[in-house]
Structure 1
Amino acid sequence: MDQASNSPGVTGQFRPVPDLPKPLVGLWAPVGVGTVLWFVAFVIMLLTGVEGIWLWTTLAGGGLGFVGFGIIAWQAAASRRGSRGAQRGL
């Protein structure tokens, strides 16, 4: 079988690739969970009296989570506008 078998009405050698389900490509949930976890770690370290690089690393991780929310919103707006460089399906 050298030829791919297509359903009726599909032309060409290969079938078109279907879009992934929304839960698999949605970015809000994983970025939100990651951001919350970074801030929880920051609060735990504050309460336990940890000082030094790890305290500031957890704070930076939470801050970068907020930057991630901004990037997701920016890409989604660009996709809705139809911008050429935007990721589709966000």
Structure 2
Amino acid sequence: MAKWTPQHEAPEPLEGPVVATITGGTILWFVLFLAQLPFYGWFDDHGHTWWVWTCLAGGGLGLIGIWYVRKRDAALKRAAAAAEEGTLQE
């Protein structure tokens, strides 16, 4: 069987409102966590407490994600400004 090789180059990655997307997802995880808290007894009786803790973990990881994408966005903007400044001086 022949090894598969791509016929064309991969497309550029899509850049969108990454910070807003991660922030929205994090808020959603925390809302789901808070919405399930009143039903914790039911979840405990049926062995589904992991649902509650999964939402809390998603919110916590989302906070790390917000920090990461904000730093990444700032670094991309700095690199673009430095590249533009370099081309203007030449």
TM bin, normalised by shorter chain, reads 0.5 to 0.7
TM-score of the pair, normalised by structure 1: 0.57
Structure 1 or 2: more helix by fraction: 2
For structure 1, list consecutive stretches of 5 or more residues without a partner in the other structure: 1-19, 84-90
TM-score by length of 2: 0.57
Percent identity of the aligned residues?
Answer: 39
After superposition, the CA RMSD in angstroms is 2.3
* CA deviation profile, 1:2-34 (whole Å, cap 9, x unmatched): xxxxxxxxxxxxxxxxxx7xxx61112211211
- In 1, distance between residues paired with 2:28 and 2:54? 12
**Residues 19 and 70 of structure 2 are in contact (CA less than 8 Å); yes or no, is this contact kept in structure 1?**
no
Per the alignment, residue 61 of structure 1 pairs with 58
Q: CA deviation at 1:65?
A: 1.0
Which structure has more relative contact order (CA 8 Å, sep 6+)? It is 2
> Gapped runs of 5+ residues in structure 2?
1-13, 81-90
Runs of 4 or more, structure 1, over 2 Å off, are none
